[in-house]
Structure 1
């Protein structure tokens, strides 16, 4: 069956059930026609979701309870029962029970993803600090999935108009400079380039690279990283045929007339990329772990304990995460089908005439 006609099996981990995870999951699935587009499989608990379904007055939702992923039925909202016990819900407060269940849900869903029992995984928000207390050994989803996939990925925040990756993830700001290198930036931009081609159907991606220091170092006055690390990486990438440009000053880059000239942006550290991204695209933003053989997305917000249980959570980002995962899966499968039996594409070099495709400011 072709990717176009395959009904994608979307696994869903529930995150911390004392946050807004179950609420945004159910709100995303409340349309009766939603299962015409994909097959949802929630790695949760029937009793837990029945309680929250009634609490949020979503009684029209019906679950198909299964004990094995292979029992999932198309046309239904499938609930894989990880526990038959009652759950003690305390909205707005992380507890040992809610944290351990978040870990169990994530681990079960990931196992199904690695075993290809589901096609994609959408993860609801977790409390990273609490999970570390109970044996989870990663500072977030990205490192966890890198370990499971056996390779490094890239944290990639995406919308239709703006796509931002970060070179360093959850590390102290004082450690950022020593955690960037020419080799690392080259590899990350190459991963982004491959992702944009295979997962987003962009034939010749143009990727902007931000500087580390204010004003991109001001020619070395405010730091040497741009001269010694970032610019050499960009030159090597361009000479290899990857359309990478920069380094650009981060303080002025995220203006619509600038960032829209590029297909993606690589920021040097977490807040440099995510602060403007969440300001511009908070409600529709999706977190995608790019560069891995598996497909995982999530909303670009956290557990939101402050509004948990108040029926105020907006499900748009979670819905966007579901459909982004489906689109990426279909794009990737179609790319694989198209490449079967084809010759490898010609690699561009710096002498090729590509001026007509470049942003005006780099011509």
Structure 2
């Protein structure tokens, strides 16, 4: 019987040594192109045979060389050969997350969904914690795909492999939203929710943000209600996301409702909350309430931002309170005034074991 390595080599030869018969007429430009293609295939065949010989007695010290060979195939656009190499590594039980990531990146750039899925699945099996970058690369392979059937099937498969942890699900949903595929992210969420996969508060916060950014506030309110029904207690991020989503579409009355609920539930407002409220009160013509929020946040030690000052100054000028607007402008420009920066807008994370996905995307 043929040994395993000889069988593999034979299959590779069959795959890459197939040739169409050449014409015996004078060499044309088309024939020249064919010969060039055959030379390329012969070169690929040699690399594959060399790769197979290398992994016969592979050790950890040889993985770097394996990576270089696969990198060479990817750079020449020969993803079929890279796929063959991935299968050889799999057959030899050689685990290499770096190789999987390399193939995933190149397959994603070519929108090669099958190879992207192969490489991503290998990553899921080989990594204790999948990186957000790898999930984003995987999601980008689907940008030209409209049908979600195969995507959902694969997500279900890898979710089961990863024991369906909320952390993994959060990274997947976030990655599709981050890559501009918000509808697919929502389809994944709905699918996993219907099939009772493990979701957590962060999952819901990500989905609330997607819906709020796309102006789908009615759906956002439904998800917020279902989150509470599922037993999750909304946090500052949840309320801020809800209030900002409602603010963007002009549902100012609802903003006040949820701010009141936030307070009643003992959830302390932060810089993001006050920024939204000051703008909401200003837009509704209630500058007195804006100023009350402004004083309250300073008493709590929350530094106002330039945006807050400018919003207050603009609304005070509109209502004829020019003198007070000038005072605030002077205060903002004073060297002694400390202003909040970008870091201050990041929500303080609660001390609990949760996914570290940052709920923010374009």
Higher relative contact order (CA 8 A, sep 6+): 1
Instruction: State the TM-score bracket (shorter-chain normalisation).
Output: 0.3 to 0.5
TM-score under structure 2 length normalisation: 0.33
Say which one has the larger Rg.
Answer: 2
TM-score under structure 1 length normalisation: 0.33
